[in-house]
Chains A and B, each alone.
Chain A
């Protein structure tokens, strides 16, 4: 660390290029330092992801450096009693005492069973360090964090079709945009600055925007049409739209389905591919000679996507025909009743979407003629965070797929499945598999091996998921139920406030109390830190270097045309007090534990270091030095961070047309029928059977199903559904201790208040300004009521993740509420057993407090 600080750009009055840490988006910024103090931030005009723009969160970020409750020295707990609201009675200690205590404990655990350590950090560029530490230590239990916020159920859909982790829409060419449970392009979600700028221009130029959300969010307010779906019924609406699109209107892109999907693959009575007996390849019926041929056969002239055939004595249908039959059987009126959207509106939106897709249209770009499908749907947590999350997302995505609006100009698109050093692979069945650089966790397709869990997030029971991070509390609370033979003993935690971001704090406190020794690294002491034994002072993002690049291309390089750009985070000032970057703390712990060389060994692969730049045994490297090696691997030996004085971004080259619109170029197909799930289903069934576990195998369906949430069960007492929405001014709880952001949120009626519809309030005799109590069967929150027309009448809405109560967070204390307080720990009826997604909607009642 010490030697890193000699690299800080010198001067009394300078602008230092770096990368914002106000959310995960990694926008290039310039930070103004005067007389050793940071005084302001602005967008970096040379960084392609900001172009001089910046958001409220980034502008306010300098304040967090100087907040009075910032922890500046290591501390130890002196109150042995742990629990909700219990004062840790912190006592400041030296770094040596803190590290000696930590290392002694971790050393003992490592020799006993390293899996007893849990690593719980949320920091995208730093993940590589905590992952390398965890692997070197020998624990599989890492990345317990705010998974319930993320798209556990939506990411797998993009991974199996777009071949990448995240999704977006080609706002530049799209003329009919549906945002479904997401506010992409409204200073919320990924690629915030460029997506918001592009979508603003699209709106100005007449693109139609439709937003599906139970709350009239910022995005819904900017839309031409708000579709106020009842919380958690997104799947029902999507199935209804599929029925209208395919069965009523007969709109589908036959050529796309035939050439780019597994739509022509023949499916037997068992629901599985009919395979060529010799090559085991899935067969396609060639209508030109009525012969079934392997999907990649050279002579395949006229693949059938419809009809019914007999091949080798087996009755079979192309998978598109099966899907079509399934869609035809959807009870349209019932689905409309469930989602509470009038049938006429469903029909109109579907027709508009289907017609806007302009099936058959083409566009000439860069000398190539590509399909043009100017209609696209993006979707995320609002649609995904439900019991039937994967099925709902799959139904929504099939709307994109069936009109061919996937990774072609105008439509929905995956974020950079193809890049300078990576490309998606192809399975033996001809389907797309994301590259390793893009998917660092499980690849939902082909999927992983099912086993009795040995990891506390239970991911071994979720072969077709991306990750199951939200399930840690289940594994910790009931290990014996899942055949887990050890108990966690220690945790290192930081930048993820488990007490507030998961479920009822009382239940979470009980779970955390089972982990005897906890180390928390942070800027301020949050609710989770209050349960820790040792707190270590973290550096602010203006006080550290980071792994390179800070913007992982799976989400943080804008998709489509444009350039490849790579951002570097560098320190603007030295860490305040005795703070140290959390990444450096992990390296120091590894050094003292004697596992630094193991960390290097894992890191040499994980950090993508070239042969010339591998970390060598017996040497010490700072994060800056590791990052420089990463950059040299990418740009060559002559490259140096010391050259980065003007801009945070290194731009390598323009994207190729193939990288921008891969679907027209890639050989692989994407599935429209999820045959692969059937094998996983059988294996999960066998394993849960062995464990004697009650389980839900319904989500493992090759065609999308409507799976209701627990909150949809008839309940006379808890007669409303609570959910929450995101604000453009806030990100997680990164921003909740910021005075400027708090000032804006306090003045805005839709930030800290609890919201119900006028009719809902009237029935209960409630008025704006009332202090109300919202109760589920699992927990409650209290706050100020705002009566509004902006929410679905069956809904209780709040925004963000507030309701702080930690002593170390005085600005945000008692401001707003935390929706998560209403939720129970993960349990069978409140998770998607396919994706591991946690259901975020919950039945509640509301009354005057």
Chain B
């Protein structure tokens, strides 16, 4: 059985946000909704200061607290580890949005995409694998439809510096597994007990 995950090399990431736009393009997410983005935080005091770029997305946790709190069982975990939201079942109660320790979920209000900021006029519409309806929770789905046809998620496929590596974490020889092992991968908020499947190395 596969268990999909991702490792992000913070040494390589330059915070260019190609992943952010790749995701917007791939999913045609509504205005204001980003399934992945890059945290840009300053750390330190001048002149010993840097900005730290941390790409964030759904962690596709082994123990997803979002699924635990979902009253309609709309959030579920596939056998391959991808945490999904069934939009037909989602009632938009936002319990998951509040419970996700990583703030990886958004409640979609206006589902229209690529709108002019004032006229709310649609300028662009991309055919996507599935439309995001009104008043549902939405988040990264690891581009499962790409993965099913043997491709990487859009963010990993396009990353200019190769900072995002997607793969089967059950396969010790996958590039992702090897990077996590060799560079001592770590996860965000391990104390939450969610067992994220998005790892980080570097920094």
Q: Using a CB–CB distance below 8 Å, which chain A residues touch chain B? A: 34, 39-43, 52-56, 59-60, 62-63, 66-68, 186-187, 192-193, 196-197, 199-201, 203-204, 216, 218-223, 226, 228, 728-729, 739-744, 747-750, 757-758, 788-793, 810-811
Q: In the bound complex, do residue B157 and residue A52 qualify as a contact, i.e. CB atoms below 8 Å apart?
A: yes
21 A-B contacts (beta carbon < 8 Å): A34-B127, A39-B127, A40-B126, A54-B22, A56-B21, A62-B124, A63-B123, A66-B123, A186-B16, A196-B14, A197-B161, A201-B12, A216-B42, A218-B14, A221-B51, A228-B46, A742-B117, A743-B31, A790-B46, A793-B46, A810-B118
Contact B158 A68 (CB under 8 A): no
Task: Give 9 closest A-B pairs by Cβ, nearest first.
Answer: A200-B161, A187-B16, A200-B12, A728-B16, A221-B51, A59-B21, A56-B21, A789-B49, A789-B46
Q: B52: CB under 8 A from chain A? A: yes
Cα–Cα distance between A200 and B160 once the two chains are bound (Å): 9
Rounded to whole Å, the gap between the CB of B32 and the closest CB of chain A is 7
Contact B21 A744 (CB under 8 A): yes
CB-CB contacts below 8 Å: B1-23 with A: 9, 11-18, 20-22
Q: List the B side residues contacting A192 at CB < 8 Å.
A: 160
Residues of chain B within 8 A (CB-CB) of A196 are: 14, 16, 160-161
Q: Write out the residue numbers on chain B whose beta carbons fall within 8 Å of the beta carbon of A56.
A: 16-18, 20-21
Shortest C-beta distance, B77 to chain A (Å), equals 29
B114 touches A739 (CB 8 A): yes
> Which B residues are CB-close (under 8 A) to A193?
160
Residues of chain A contacted by B174 (CB below 8 angstroms): none
Whether B35 sits at the interface, judged by CB under 8 Å, is: no
Among A39, A62, A222, A811, which residue has its beta carbon within 8 angstroms of that of B116?
A811
Minimal beta-carbon separation of B111 from chain A (angstroms) = 16
Given A40-B26, A811-B116: 9 more A-B contacts, CB < 8 Å: A40-B25, A63-B124, A68-B116, A196-B161, A221-B52, A226-B47, A728-B15, A740-B114, A757-B46
Contact A741 B21 (CB under 8 A): yes
Contact B157 A739, beta carbon cutoff 8 Å: no
Task: Let me know if B16 and A59 touch, CB within 8 A.
Answer: no
Query: In chain B, what residue has the closest Cβ to A223?
Result: B50
In the bound complex, residues from chain B placing their C-beta under 8 Å from that of A742 are 117
Task: From known contacts A216-B49, A744-B20, A789-B49, infer whether A54 and B116 are also in contact, taking CB-CB under 8 Å.
Answer: no
Answer whether residue B44 sits at the interface, using C-beta atoms and an 8 A cutoff: yes
Chain A residue at minimum C-beta to C-beta distance from B43: A789
**Chain A residue with Cβ nearest B24:** A740
**Complex alpha-carbon distance, A219 and B161, angstroms:** 13
User: B158 near A743 (CB under 8 angstroms)?
Assistant: no
Asked whether A59 lies within 8 Å of B22 as measured between CB atoms, the reply is yes
Give A60's nearest chain B residue, CB to CB: B21
Interface size class of B (residues with CB under 8 A): 35 or more
Determine the chain B residues whose CB is within 8 A of the CB of A62 once the complex forms.
25, 124
Chain B residues, CB < 8 A from A54? 18, 22, 158, 160
| Complex Cα–Cα for A612 and B25 (A) | 45
Using CB atoms, name the residue of chain A closest to B9.
A204
Chain B residue at smallest Cβ distance from A192: B160
In the complex, A197 Cα to B124 Cα: how many Å? Answer: 31
Proximity bits, B154-174, A CB within 8 Å = 1, else 0: 000111111100000000000
By the criterion CB–CB under 8 Å, are A68 and B18 in contact?
A: no
- Residues on the A chain within 8 Å of B47, using CB: 226, 228
Q: When the two chains form their complex, are residues B49 and A790 in contact, meaning their CB atoms are under 8 A apart?
A: yes
Q: Are A68 and B15 in contact (CB under 8 A)?
A: no
How many angstroms from the CA of A150 to the CA of B24 in the assembled complex? 32
Within 8 Å by CB of A197, from B34, B53, B160, lies: B160
Q: How far is the CB of A218 from chain B (nearest CB, A)?
A: 6
| B51, A218: Cβ atoms closer than 8 Å | yes
Cross-chain contact of A743 among B12, B32, B118, B123 (Cβ < 8 A): B32
The residues of B that contact A740 with a CB separation of less than 8 Å are 21, 24-25, 114
> With the chains together, A473 CA to B52 CA distance in Å?
41
**Which residues in A have their C-beta under 8 angstroms from that of B12?**
200-201, 203-204
Say if the beta carbon of B80 comes within 8 Å of chain A: no
A788 touches B42 (CB 8 A): yes
Q: Given A203-B11, A216-B42, A747 and B25 touching (CB < 8 A)? A: no
**Is B86 at the interface (CB under 8 A from chain A)?**
no
B59 located at the interface, meaning its Cβ lies under 8 Å from any Cβ of chain A in the complex = no
Bound-state CA distance A739–B34 (Å) is 13
Q: How long is the Cα–Cα vector from A729 to B49 in the complex, in angstroms?
A: 22
Docked complex Cα distance between A52 and B44 (Å): 36
Partner of B14, one of A42, A222, A226: A222
What CA separation (Å) do A558 and B179 show in the bound complex?
Answer: 28
Contact of B160 among A187, A758, A789 (CB under 8 A): A187
B116 to chain A minimum Cβ distance, whole angstroms, is 6
Is the pair B117, A747 in contact by a Cβ cutoff of 8 Å?
Answer: no
A43 to B117, CA, bound (A): 29
B162 neighbours in A (Cβ, 8 Å): 197, 200-201
Determine the chain A residues whose CB is within 8 A of the CB of B158 once the complex forms. 42-43, 52-54, 59
Report chain A residues within 8 Å CB of B15: 218, 221, 728
Chain A residues lying within 8 Å of B160, measured Cβ to Cβ, are 53-55, 187, 192-193, 196-197
Q: Is B37 an interface residue (CB 8 A)?
A: yes
Q: Which of A199, A739, A758 has the most CB of B within 10 A?
A: A739
Any A CB within 8 A of the CB of B40:
yes
CB of A59 to closest CB in B, whole Å: 4
Q: What residues on B are CB-neighbors of A204 within 8 Å? A: 9, 11-12, 202
**Pairwise interchain contact B50-A221, C-beta atoms closer than 8 A:** yes
Among A739, A788, A791, point to the contact of B123 (Cβ < 8 A): A739
Closest B residue to A221 using CB positions: B51
Chain A contacts for B13, CB-based, 8 A: 200
Beta-carbon contact of B116 and A63 below 8 Å: no
Residue B68 CB within 8 A of the other chain: no
**A59-B21, A186-B14, A216-B50 in contact; A53/B159 too (CB < 8 A)?**
yes
Give the interface centre of B17, B126, B160 by most chain A CB atoms within 10 Å: B160
Question: Shortest distance in angstroms between A291's beta carbon and chain B's nearest beta carbon?
Answer: 54
Q: How many Å lie between the Cα of A203 and that of B203 in the bound state? A: 11
Of residues B11, B26, B47, which shows the largest number of chain A Cβ atoms within 10 Å of its Cβ? B47
Q: Closest residue to A40 on the B side, CB-wise?
A: B25
Contacts of A222 in B (CB 8 A): 14
- Is B130 at the interface (CB under 8 A from chain A)? no
User: In the complex, what residues of B have CB within 8 A of residue A203's CB?
Assistant: 11-12
What are the residues of chain A within 8 A of B161 when measuring CB–CB? 196-197, 199-200
Question: How far, in angstroms, from A435 to B8 measured CA to CA in the complex?
Answer: 44
**Shortest Cβ distance from B135 into chain A, in angstroms?**
21
- Select from chain B the residue with minimum beta-carbon distance to A728: B16
Tell me if B78 counts as interface (CB < 8 A to partner A).
no
B110 on interface, CB distance cutoff 8 Å: no
A751 closest partner in B (C-beta):
B40
Residue in contact with A39 in the complex, picked from B20, B31, B37, B126, CB distance below 8 Å: B126
Q: Separation in Å of the A64 CB from the closest CB of chain B? A: 10
Chain B min CB distance to A577 (Å): 14
The docked-state distance in angstroms from the alpha carbon of A728 to that of B53 is: 13
Nearest B residue to A793, CB-CB = B46
Q: CB-CB < 8 A to A220: which residues of B?
A: 50
Q: Contact flags (1/0) for B109-142 with A, using CB distance below 8 Å?
A: 0000011111101011011000000000000000
Q: Does B149 contact A (CB under 8 A)?
A: no
Residues of A within 8 A of B192 (CB): none
